[in-house]
Structure 1
Amino acid sequence: MVNTFLAHDLLWGMTPEQLPVDAPAWVSESISAGQPVVVRRALSAPDHIAVGVRGRLREQRFATVMSIDVISRRVKPEDLCHVSIDRDVPAVHALNQLRPMLDDCGWVWGVSGSAGFELASGFQALHARSDLDLILRAPQPLDRLKAQALVRILDTAACQVDMQLQTPFGAIALREWAGPARRVLLKNAREACLVIDPWEQAA
């Protein structure tokens, strides 16, 4: 399998035997239950991918690596746009509300975070105070006025909505790009740095 995985992709196939010996017990329990791991922004060997394991508690997050040749399934955030679940929580209501508006925008978008995890795996991750995390594939520049208009759409939702813009060189927060700051924080596998144009390769 070619190492073309992107942050927020969900992967299946890891087993407890592949975990480091110092991994907490809850990590093994999560993997044994059949939960996927989420791709992280971090460097790894060519035949491995940096991933994170989720636990039941918010603070339970464990960073590790996964061998690419054991991956049995991959779900990308954009695969989850039209997956529905019957949960009476604000994040689900917000997703249902925003879905047609985001579809009409014509952009490739996806669901990440707790909502994406639950939509993809069926394991309950959302609660009444959960935010909705979204990603927007942005291979071409999105001007700041359009970013501001998109923030206004997101702010009509039933809960806090955070969206990341995925540029060819990393990810930025939509709300930051829509704000007044000249420089924004660009995150990729190598670093997090302040840039003026997140669609321009750093020198």
Structure 2
Amino acid sequence: MAIVESSQRGPRRDGPAPDLFRAHDLLWGMGVEHLPEDAPAWVGKVLTAGWPVVVRRAPARNGWVAVGLRGHGREQRWAGWLPLEAVMRCATPEALRQAEPQRQLPAWQALRQIGAVLDATGLAWGVTGGAGFELASGVPVLHGASDLDLLLRTPQPFSRDAARALLAELNQAACRIDLQLQTPTGGLALAEWAGEGARVMVKGDHAPVLLADPWARAEVAP
């Protein structure tokens, strides 16, 4: 399990970042008192069990952070808001890549295989999705056929040739790897950027948009 220290004096972040919290960070501190009346019963149960929530992309709301919560099944996904003052600790994707998996699964084998490949890019990278959740919480959510979700922070343009070369390397791993490039405009699937499409889907805070250049903040498809 990842080591993420608790703080009673306000939110703490593990790992460097210019912003307080970013998409894919895992947060602790949400309780049933923060739930709306119409929240499903399972949401309260997993929060009571101490499960973290994940920061999701959404338009900013002063004093709040948009979060999502997973349950025991694929159909159990819930989106809500957490007061920033309630956040007690945080695990970033970058911090989670340093955690030691407690089980033998293809996803963890793949993580060990591709570490050097991603390090060679010289860019920050980390673990997200179910893999990140398991590393942070200790809850065994992965199985033998699970993908490995990763992110690579690309504040500067990342060429399509570089994307194709990286994808070819990741495709040699022990399981399917779903890597997102984190661009100034949002998240972009490496596999899509490595393709031939003139425009690619970028997931931003307001809505997904089609862009020719995900590193040009002002460009939005009509």
> Could you tell me the TM-score, scaled by structure 1's length?
0.96
Q: 1:126 to 1:184 in 2, by over 3 A?
A: same
Helix, strand or coil for the counterpart of 1:193? strand
Q: 1:40 aligns with which of 53, 56, 59?
A: 56
Residue type of the alignment partner of 1:142: F
Residue type of the alignment partner of 1:111: V
Deviations 1:128-169 (A, max 9, x none): 121100000000000000000000111011111000000112
User: How far, CA to CA, are the matches of 1:45 and 1:175 in structure 2?
Assistant: 32
Aligned length: 203
Higher relative contact order (CA 8 A, sep 6+): 2
| Percent identity over paired residues | 51
Query: What residue number does 1:98 align with?
Result: 114
Moved more, 3-12 or 132-141: 3-12
Deviations 1:25-76 (A, max 9, x none): 1111110000100001112421011100110111211000000000000111
Unpaired segments ≥5 residues, structure 2 = 1-10, 12-17
Q: 1:173 aligns with which of 176, 186, 189?
A: 189
User: How far, CA to CA, are the matches of 2:25 and 2:98 in structure 1?
Assistant: 16
Residue type of the alignment partner of 1:58: R
Cα deviation, residue 81, structure 1: 1.5
Q: 2:85 aligns with which of 69, 83, 87?
A: 69
User: How far, CA to CA, are the matches of 1:82 and 1:12 in structure 2?
Assistant: 19
User: How far, CA to CA, are the matches of 1:54 and 1:133 in structure 2?
Assistant: 15
Q: 1:129 aligns with which of 145, 148, 152?
A: 145
Residue type of the alignment partner of 1:165: L
Cα deviation, residue 3, structure 1: 6.6
Residue type of the alignment partner of 2:148: L
Spell out structure 1 runs of 4+ moving beyond 2 A: 1-4
Q: Is the 1:3–1:68 contact (alpha carbons within 8 Å) kept by the matching residues of 2?
A: no
Cα deviation, residue 101, structure 1: 2.1
Q: Please show how residues 3-152 of structure 1 align to structure 2 within 5 Å.
A: 4-152=20-168
